Amino acid sequence: MNSRAIALPIGRLLILISLMMIIPAITDMFAHNADWQIFLVCAILVGGFGLLTSIACQGQGRPQNFREAILFVNTAWLVFSFAGAVPMWASELNISFTDAFFESASGLTTTGSTILTGIETLPPGILLWRALLQWIGGIGVVSLAIWLLPSLRVSGNQLFALETSETATKPYGRIAPFLFRLLFLYSYLSVSCCLLYLACGMTLFDAVVHAMTTVSTGGFSTSDASFGQFQGLSVYWVATVFMLASSVPFLYLIRSFENRRFEFDVQILLLFVLITTGAFGVLYFERFVVHDTPFHMLTLAVFNVVSVVSTTGYGANDYLQFGAPVIAIFFVLTFFGGCAGSTSGGFKMFRIAVLLSYIRVLLQRMVRPHRVIAPKYHGKRISISILEGTFVFAVLYSATFVLFAVFYLFLQMNLETALSASATALANVGPGIGDIIGPAGNFQNLPDAAKWLLAIQMILGRLEILGGLLLFTPDFWRER
């Protein structure tokens, strides 16, 4: 294993992070907030460290094989979470390093769980920094899904017959030209979202922050009330549309833009079925509690359901007051997530499609053992390696959920909080259910050990579990 080939790209990305820190520094300087010096000093420190690393490892290339790639990705998430935590820890927020790391990891993984309260009173630099972490995390997640995860056989990108299919089948190949198109689409979505938010009456600052946390399905906001701070329904629909757009495969979006036509995709269909079912369920029980116009109630129901399914985690109102069945709906929706190759997290729709097709075929085979039937996705036969990858992921996803829930129970959380915390961190959704970590609660009140475990679980969720788990197998570290 060539550790310098891993250190070089880490160093380069640290320079990127340090350049990003200039943005909140300038914002806070104009807002006459003392934190601008903190951001500037952190930018110089992180940038200097990145520069030294880059110079020391000059000419070492980049990760050359699967193991180096995995090690790079794991190191990157940890190093950037630390780097992102430093300015928040040093700032006037006056929080512990555990809290700062939790907030930073929650941002970079686009989870959006927060330990901060009174968010509307915080200086603009901090709010912008949290949003920037989510925005950069979002593009990182999509790049990861295209670059590395195909070789884990868990990303589902192999299922698309794309003109760019050579990048999907050739991992760690040259994906620079493709990344450029991806970055263009991501920026295009962000700017459109921001302009529409402005048109709906948001301030420029709110529009910029929320656009960044919408397209990354991150969910950080500028107020404890999240989207509850905004008047009028149009802003909810803009958010709904862009949360949905960020939950479909970005490769699919790029192709649709370039070919100027939308094609049918099973996982997108399933996503809409799930959202429609969920929204009707919520609406049914919302009737008994909220008394408003039908369109108002529909807006809130759709917004909240899309917010959870897209793993964004904005809140329009405290939907947990709608009673046990609605809590149940949101708890179950937490696990699903959007489509493969999007910024959303969770189990993901293509896996549901693969599992449904496979189980249907196996049931048919039992009744008709002599007929040859193969599981299909989108009319194409699903390869054994994708079936294997999907089933292993399903087992690991459940096992990780249960294991961390048990850890949280051991840390004296109650059952509801423990289960919900484990689910919301693993699926990178953000808020959970219950008094403590629900939309009206705060992760601040959890013990420090729980915050570290949650941060690890968020990163595991982003590495589709396997990407992180591999580090703990003896075979990974054995040379040859």
CA distance 308 to 219: 10
What's the min distance (Å) between Cβ of 267 and a copy of itself?
A: 17
- What's the token pair of residue 152? 């884990």
CA distance 374 to 362: 9
Residue 376: strand pairing partners? 381
What's the min distance (Å) between Cβ of 128 and a copy of itself?
A: 37
Taking alpha carbons only, the member of 224, 247, 222, 216 closest to residue 111 is 216
Q: Which residues contact 171 (CB under 8 A, 6 or more apart)?
A: 66, 69, 147, 148, 150, 151
Site string for K ion, 105-124 (x = CB under 5 A): ------xx------------
Of 195 and 384, which has the nearer Cβ to a copy of itself?
384
- What's the token pair of residue 321? 């007051």
Q: Which residues contact 250 (CB under 8 A, 6 or more apart)?
A: 142, 182, 185, 186, 341, 342, 343
Site string for a copy of itself, 339-358 (x = CB under 8 A): ----------------x--x
Site string for a copy of itself, 357-386 (x = CB under 8 A): -xxx-xxx-xxxx-----------------
Taking alpha carbons only, the member of 334, 335, 341, 354 closest to residue 266 is 354
What's the min distance (Å) between Cβ of 475 and K ion?
A: 33
Q: Which residues contact 356 (CB under 8 A, 6 or more apart)?
A: none
Residue 251: strand pairing partners? none
Of 204 and 395, which has the nearer Cβ to a copy of itself?
395
Q: How far lies 11's CA from each of 23, 71, 101, 179, in Å? A: 20, 15, 20, 19
Of 113 and 267, which has the nearer Cβ to K ion?
113
CA distance 89 to 102: 11
Scanning 174-233, the segments in alpha helix (DSSP H) are: 176-199, 204-215
Of 344 and 390, which has the nearer Cβ to a copy of itself?
390
Is residue 337 near K ion by the rule CB under 5 A?
no
Residue 380: strand pairing partners? 377
Out of 201, 395, 435, 448, the only residue in the binding site for a copy of itself (CB under 8 A) is 395
Taking alpha carbons only, the member of 444, 334, 425 closest to residue 111 is 425
In the three-class reduction of DSSP (H, G, I as helix; E, B as strand; rest coil), residue 410 is classed as helix
Out of 231, 260, 293, 324, the only residue in the binding site for a copy of itself (CB under 8 A) is 324
Of 171 and 461, which has the nearer Cβ to K ion?
461
CA distance 174 to 127: 35
CA distance 177 to 184: 11
What's the min distance (Å) between Cβ of 307 and K ion?
A: 9
Q: What does 396 bind: K ion, a copy of itself, none (CB cut-off 5 to 8 Å by kind)?
A: a copy of itself
- What's the token pair of residue 431? 């808020």
What's the min distance (Å) between Cβ of 143 and a copy of itself?
A: 20
442 assigned binding-site residue: no
Is residue 409 near a copy of itself by the rule CB under 8 A?
yes
CA distance 258 to 248: 16
Of 204 and 402, which has the nearer Cβ to a copy of itself?
402
428 assigned binding-site residue: yes
293 assigned binding-site residue: no
Of 187 and 364, which has the nearer Cβ to a copy of itself?
364
Is residue 419 near a copy of itself by the rule CB under 8 A?
yes
Is residue 375 near K ion by the rule CB under 5 A?
no
Of 52 and 328, which has the nearer Cβ to a copy of itself?
328
218 assigned binding-site residue: yes
- Residue ranges for the known binding site for K(+) are 110-111, 218, 311-312, 428-429
Interface residues with K ion (CB under 5 A)? 111-112, 219, 311, 313, 430
Interface residues with a copy of itself (CB under 8 A)? 66-67, 151-153, 324-325, 327-329, 331-332, 355, 358-360, 362-364, 366-369, 388-389, 391-392, 394-396, 398, 402, 405-406, 409-410, 412-416, 418-419, 466, 469-470, 473, 475-476
